[in-house]
Structures are given as structure tokens and as C-alpha cells.
Amino acid sequence: MGGVRELMRCVIPKYSGFCFDVGATVKAAYSYTDGSTYMYGEIVNNPAIINDLQSKGLKLIHNLDDMPKKDGLKVLIRAHGVPEAVINDIIRRGYKVIDKTCPNVKRVQNIVAKASGRGLDVIIAGTPNHPEVIGILGWSKTKTIIIQDLEQAKAIIPNTIFTPNGVCMVAQTTHNRKEYEEIKEYCATVIPNIEFHDTVCDATEKRQGEVRRLAKSCDGVIVAGGRISSNVTKLYEIASEYCRNVQHVESAKEVDLLKLDGVNSLMVVGGASTPDSSVDEIVAAVKKFCSVRNIPFEAEYLRDKAGSDNNEAPWGSAGADSPFPGLYAEKSTWQLPDLFPYAVTPAGAAAVKVMKDFVISASSAEGRPGEKVTVDISVENNPGIAGFVFNIVYSSGALEFVAAEGSMLTDDVTAGNFEISESLRSLRALWVSSKAIINDGVLYSVTFKIKDDAPEGELPLVLSYNNGNISSLCLDTLYPKLTHGVVTVYNSVLGDINCDGKIDIKDRILLTRYIAGDITLSPSRFRLADLNRDGMIDSIDAAMLDQLILSQA
């Protein structure tokens, strides 16, 4: 037993728990628990989440042959993605594809598919048997090798004959950033014609960097997450480089509390597929352990604290003692806002703090005249919002505002509403509270109806500051970077590429000729041919079009 200590300090990093995309995938999965949806492999590498989803009706398969042969079934694609052949097989069997592949993973798949299409060989830096790597591998049609670390690169690459066309190198999105840089540096010296793509996702890099920084000053580290989770394993490995006392657990029950004897400074961190509740349960177990031993315990949440008070900053309600100014000094840059030409620039912009990491963004949506679409107004790298005023500028001639719902705003609201200004074709979003939000995520979900006479094309959704007035963000005059969205209107039916009112072999011929490189398509016809909405026209779209043609025969 260790001696009596004055205090055990437990720190929970800012970048801990669900990343934004995994959180969105899990949230979506809970909307498909009616018994007609099958997830193809575990959507995330977290047993607790998978077990809970299964208990609520979402079914798990690892082989399409395990699905019953009946109409109306759906297949949910995991966040790690799957090979192209699996998508094609799902469509061929007549099931509906619900693709929840992480956007960062989808980007890697697209890079590999395009590089392979140009005749390049591919190198993937990653874990060979990981589902994400298997999925990426399945989008390449040329020679592809998987390299796990520098030692393996030195053993395999000199003995591999690559095509003279060149080589494309990508990394698994959760790969160790430091290892990937080492592999890239080596490959640049031995492969004369190689292109590198930076595909380690931002959320992964931030988590690894923070664990690397904090582990240096900790006596103990507990990494929470699934045992087969790549991003969790990487966090464990990085923490072990700097701390001798590191545990990898899936739940609070697995924590070896006796290893905490003698620990004065502890870090508890969750991987990108670990819910905040798992981390909080571990912190509670450690707190109880300290209480039994009469050791004072202090938890410092650098991340958003979960629980009933998850909207309140860890330093309490916004007030005079808020540490915002110091936070600004570390994260801010002085520059003018990057806005669309017709967005309003704030008064005194030359002296405005624009925080390059602090972002409020509008998502994009698509639909046809008469349909309703919903766009999300989200915040990223939130320093702590106690209020805001900004405009959403939209095309009132083509879009009609229906409703807005705040998804993570506190109930303690001093003022909060949406005001419509048809003359200015904008919505004015106003929210002020005595409690600060520190979460990243969706502030508002805004629903529009596409008017019946709306033209086909893209309608911009522009976020702007409120007519030059100070935006009420936190306690200071802060201006986040604003990222704008688009509502895309389709008058024609998807698949009707020649716009003749029918989906038939003529459309299939156009799609085939485009894929072969014989013709080009205008932007509007490209959208009609891109049936799965991934920004590419490929064999997946061809398979989906074949299914549409058969269904109308």
C-alpha cells in the first residue's frame, strides 16, 4: 500500500470520447432499431454500444448471406467503411444501403479509387486486419500493400516492384501520426515517383497530441475503449511511451484500482469510439477508491463534462472570473473574417478577434421542389459560448423557413429566438444564457421547404455577423470563422441523366460512357448520375442505376 497523499488529481483531456463523426454515426444507428436494419459489422469498435443497439432491435451481420431474403431490408455500413464489392453486392441483392462511413474514411477510399484508376499502385499505412484498412484496400484495382510501421516498410518496400506510373500513399485515419511521418520520410528516399496524402484525421491527431503532452506529467493513465479499436490502441501505445503505469480498459469494472496506489496525477482518456459516460464511470470509480482511503480527489475536465450539467463550463456559469481571455490568447489569430462577398463584415473588423479554430458552420442539404430539407448549424472547437447573434442568409424566393430547433442549448435562457426578415432574406439567430455551452456539435437544426417553383441548382446558405453588431459570444467580442452551406435543388429524377422523364438503357449508356472517359457531363447531369451522392460517378452508381431500371421494367 502506498503512503497517505495530500491529493489525487485526475485530468480528463479536452479531446476525449466520441469524435464528431462517430457520435453522428452512433446517433443515426439508434434511429434504425425497427428490426428491418442490419449493421454490416460493428458500426464502431465499442462492445457496450453494439450490445445496446442489438438489444434495441438493430441486428448485426458479418456476411450478407446471413440476411433473410425479403423486401424492405436495409444494411447500415459501419463508420470504418467497407470494400466497394460489398456495396455492389448489397445493391445487387436488392437491399437499401445506409452508408455511415466516416467522411474522413470515405475521403481515403476516394483517394485510393482515383489513384488506382490512374494506374498508380497504392501503399496503405495501417493495421492489416483492421476493418478500415480492409475497406480501403477494397477500393483499389492495382497493386496495394499495407505497411504497419517503419521497420516493416524497410523490410517490404525494397523487395516490391511498383508500376512506373507511380505510387499513391495514404494512412489509416487513426494511424499514429509520428509513425506515418517516419514511413513517409523513408518512402520518399526509395520510391522515386510517389505522392503522399495526409489522411490521419484531425480528431485522431488532436487526441494523440494531447495524450502525448499530458502523459509526460502523469503517474498513471487509464485509456478507455474497445480492445480492438485502433484509435484506442494507439492512445495506449503513446501513453506507454511516457508513463509506466498505463491501463487499457473497456469499462470501469476492469480498472485495477490497486495500481493507483502511489499515483498522484492520473489521466483518464476515452478513444474516438468511447462514449463520455464510460470515462465518467471510471472517474467515479477512482473517486470512490480515493474516498475509501481518505485521499482528497480532484477531477479536472478539460473536455465537455458529461451528465445533467453537460452544458455548463467546468468553471461554472459565465462570469467575471471566467478564464476566457487566457484561452483566447492561446488559440486566437488576428485576421479578417473569410466571408462570402455579400455577407456582412462586422463593424471595426480590423480590430476583431477571429479565432481560426473556432468555427460555426452550416451543413448542406438537397431535395426537390415541394420537399422539406434540414440543415444543421454547428460549432467546432468551442471555447465556451454564453450567447450569440448571427444571421443565416438564404434565398427566400426559393426557400421557405419552416422551423428551428436548438439541440444542445441550455434551458437557462435569458433570450432566444429566430426572427425572419424576408426583406433581407435572412434569419436572425439570438440566444443568451447565464450558462456557457462548451460542447462541440449542433446548435440549431433549421428546416426549410423548397418552394414549388424553385429552380434547379445550388442555393447558398450564408452565415454572417449580425449587421455589423457585436456578436454576443462568451464575455468578449469574438468572431468565429463562418463556414457556409448549400441547398441543392433537383427538378429531375435521380438516374434520369438525359432528362427525358424516363430511367432506361439510354441513361445507362450515358453513365457507362462517362465512366469510360468518352464523354463529359454538365454539373446538373453529373448530379443526376451520382446516385449515391459521394461526389464520384463509378461502378456503385452503375449498379444503383441498373437496379432502378429493373424496378421500372
298 noted as active-site residue: no
**Hunting for cell 477494397 — which residue is that?**
138
- For 362, the grid coordinates are 452550416
Q: How far apart (Å, rounded) are the C-alpha atoms in residues 282 and 222?
A: 9
Asked if 458 and 488 count as a contact pair (C-beta separation under 8 A), the reply is yes
b/e code 440-470 from CB counts within 10 Å (16+ = b)? bbbbbbbebbbbeebeeeebbbbbbbbeeeb
**Helix (H) or strand (E) segment spanning residue 76:** strand 74-77
Q: What are phi and psi of 540, to 5 degrees?
A: -65, -45
Asked if 12 and 301 count as a contact pair (C-beta separation under 8 A), the reply is yes
Asked if 297 and 10 count as a contact pair (C-beta separation under 8 A), the reply is yes
Q: How far apart (Å, rounded) are the C-alpha atoms in residues 410 and 76?
A: 32
Q: How far apart (Å, rounded) are the C-alpha atoms in residues 233 and 278?
A: 16
Q: How far apart (Å, rounded) are the C-alpha atoms in residues 73 and 59?
A: 11
Amino acid occupying residue 382 = N
Q: What is the DSSP string of 473-499?
A: ETTEEEEEEEE-EEEEE--SPTT-TT-
Helical ranges in 30-119 per DSSP H? 47-55, 84-92, 103-117
For residue 259, the 8-state DSSP code is: G
* First-residue to last-residue Cα distance in the chain: 77
- For 552, the grid coordinates are 421500372
By CB neighbour count within 10 A (0-12 exposed, 13-18 middle, 19+ buried), where does 129 fall? Answer: exposed
b/e code 491-500 from CB counts within 10 Å (16+ = b)? ebebbbbeee
The neighbour count for residue 400, using CB atoms within 10 Å, is 16
- For 76, the grid coordinates are 447500415
The secondary structure of 418-455, three-state, reads EEEECCCCEEEEEEEEEEEECCCEEEEEEEEEECCCCC
For the chain, what's the residue count?
A: 553
Angle at the Cα of 322 (from 320 to 325), degrees rounded to 5? Answer: 105
Which of 132, 210, 281, 312 is catalytic? The answer is 132
Picking from 82, 112, 85, 114, the residue whose alpha carbon sits closest to that of residue 100 is 82
The neighbour count for residue 200, using CB atoms within 10 Å, is 24
Residues catalogued as catalytic:
132
